[in-house]
Structure formats: C-alpha cells, structure tokens
Amino acid sequence: MNGFLAQPALDPARRTGLIFCGMGGPDGPEAVEPFLRNLFRDPCILPVPRLLTPILSRLIAKRRAPFVRERYAMISDDSSTPQLQTTIDQARETAHRLAERGLDVVEGVAMRYWKPFPEECVQLLLDRGAEQFLVVPAYPQYACATTGSTLKFVRDGIEQLAPGAVVHDVHDWHLLPGYVAALAEPVAATIRRWATVRVDPRECALLYVAHSLPEKFVQQGDPYLEQVTTTVQAVHDRVSAGLSDREGQHFLTSLGSGQGPRLTYQSKVGPIKWLGPEITEEIHLLSEVGVRRVFVQPISFTCEHVETLHELDIELKEDIAAFGIEDYARGPALNLNADWLDSLAGHLFANTFAQQPGQEVSADV
C-alpha cells in the first residue's frame, strides 16, 4: 500500500498495543495557545533555524491564539475539538474488529501537538500488557509534515518506554477499498439527487478537497500530491461505476465542474506557495460561468474538526453565498463509517501480522 521499506511483522500470539495517532487539537480555550506553540515548534511545520524555533513559535502562537480560540468556540460549547473522542472511538472499533479475528489487542490514542501525548498512551498500553505496537496514522495520504512527523513522535515515545519493542507503522492507506467507498457514497447520492429533481447539470459542480501542502515538499519528493490525486481518481471512478442508469451517467459527465474529478485544496497558511487551486477561488470561478449548486467531498480527514466544521461549514459557506451559490453541501469525514473501519481492520490483519501456517486470510485490501 506504500512505497516505504517493509515493516516488521507482528506476532499474532502476543498482545498488541494499537495506537491511533493524529494531529490533535485543544481540549478547551486555555489549551489553544500551547497547542499552537507545539504546532509551530515542529520543524516540519515551521522550517527555520533551530535556535529561532522557540522564539518564533511563541510569537506566532500568541498572535494567532485569539483568532483560533474564536474558531473553536464556534464549533463547540467548550471550545474543544471533537477529534479526540472520535479517534478514541475509531481505535476501539478497530481493536474490536481485530479481536473478532482472534487477535489480542488493546487500544490507545496518541496526538502530535496536544494531549494525550505518546508517552501517556504507551504507558497505559504497557500497563495493559502490550508487548508490541501497531501504529495507525489519521492521515490517508503520506506527507512528511503530517504522517512523517507524527509517526516519529510516536516512535520516540515507544522507544523511551519500551526500548526494543517491535513496532509496525502504517504509512498510508490512500487506496483502501472501504475508504474509497466511504467517500464515493455521499458523492453518488448527491448526483442521483440532482438528476432526480432534473436540475441543469451545467449549474452543478462536484469538488473534491484535500488539505494543502507547501509545494516545496512535493518538489523534494514527498508522495502526498501523487497519492491525493490517485485517491480522488479512484473515488470518482467508483462514483461513475455506481451510477448504472444512463441518466445518472449523463448527469455526472455534464457537470459544470467538468467530466473528470476536480481536485481543490484548503487550509493554506502563510505566504509561501502551496498546492492549489484553493477551493474558495475555484468555486468563485465556477460561479462566474453559471454554477449555482456545489457539493464538496473532503478526502483528507478521518474526523470532523475545525477544518471541516468551521473552515468548510462556516467560512466557505459564507464566502460562496456571495457568489450566488444557491445549494451548498459537503460530504462527511470518515468518523465511524463501517465500510472504512471494516476495510482498515482487514488490511491490518492481513498485512501487519505474521500469518500462521494454514491460517485463512480474509481482508478487504
């Protein structure tokens, strides 16, 4: 599933500590500034000389904290992110699916920029008898600034508390069948809805949106852009294949956004050049050629959090209303989608554990 060096196989007879990991987010208004300090202290996020990092990270965090705190207050009563609880639930559901296949698994969650940090997670798993570790990132596509940084952070925590333990990292899962199916379903449902009410397809646009990344990372060999593009094409192909009736197929190929998948990006920060086109600018261009209905499918997020609940549901919605867009909706993040979780568990079972002689392998990979 990725082009990285082979990972060590885990022993199915030993207790496995399953760690779901991601970016994390503040658990209250007082956590916003330290969360931002940790974020901008990461050299993958703020690539400046090491001596400048502590000073700049504090200055940036202090300047951005009031604005970011306000955004979190708009998506939850306690100014927190729902990301942590969803990730905890995803880890539990995945561990349950692996246990049904006969594996002894205990689960935990570790975040990159705010609590729970890896040391806390690893210690809890060790206390529950974990002898080896399986680390699953929240990022479907690999990027050094997200997956790479997070996996290193988690591995450092494991090495500190369980030196020599066998660790298997999952670097990406950008073509996992259940993941592709989970993204395609709301897109296909929207196309069918538009076709059923017989709106003009030229007034409709379908956009896929991914988290942006500085272009320099791609130029340095980061596989993120290639994997994002591959994911979007796979999702669009599945949507097309699922629209078996002639009317639905015709509608999809006649959209105002064009026949093929239209990929856009969000969450650009700072003055450097990032991957584009930016989603708001792209919708503005489409509105100028008559598009009045827009459906957006995020592909980068396993959980609802500030970049979906605020950036797409509030900011983008307000911006595009001024363009004359009459109908705007988006597909959900993965959350607890059963297709995705079943497929992920099948992949982990078949590809991370050493298979016993005569053992039947059943996996959706």
Q: Percent of the chain beyond pLDDT 70?
A: 95
pLDDT above 80: residue 269: no
**According to the model, what pLDDT value does residue 356 have?**
56
CA 240, CA 255: separation in Å to the nearest integer?
13
pLDDT above 80: residue 3: no
**According to the model, what pLDDT value does residue 357 have?**
47
What mean pLDDT comes out for the span 78-106? 96
280 contacts 316 by C-beta, under 8 angstroms: yes
CA 362, CA 45: separation in Å to the nearest integer?
39
Strand 167-169 versus strand 204-211 pairing type: unpaired
Largest CA distance in the chain: 63
**According to the model, what pLDDT value does residue 5 have?**
56
Q: Percent of the chain beyond pLDDT 90?
A: 87
**According to the model, what pLDDT value does residue 282 have?**
98
CA 25, CA 23: separation in Å to the nearest integer?
7
pLDDT 10s digits, 227-260: 999 999 999 999 999 987 776 788 999 999 998 9
Given pLDDT bands bounded at 50, 70 and 90, which one contains residue 153?
very high
Q: Which domains does the chain have, with CATH numbers?
A: 16-173+337-352 (3.40.50.1400), 177-330 (3.40.50.1400)
pLDDT above 90: residue 355: no
Given pLDDT bands bounded at 50, 70 and 90, which one contains residue 201?
very high
pLDDT 10s digits, 211-220: 999 999 999 9
CA 285, CA 266: separation in Å to the nearest integer?
16
Burial class (CB in 10 A: 0-12, 13-18, 19+), 88: middle
Higher pLDDT, 360 or 2: 360
Q: Which tokens go with 104?
A: 């002894």
**According to the model, what pLDDT value does residue 178 have?**
98
179 contacts 254 by C-beta, under 8 angstroms: no
Q: Which tokens go with 338?
A: 């059963």
pLDDT above 60: residue 164: yes
147 contacts 139 by C-beta, under 8 angstroms: yes
CA 265, CA 88: separation in Å to the nearest integer?
27
pLDDT 10s digits, 121-139: 999 999 999 999 999 999 9
pLDDT 10s digits, 289-316: 999 999 999 999 999 999 999 999 999 9
Across 48-52, 81-85, 264-268, least confident range: 48-52
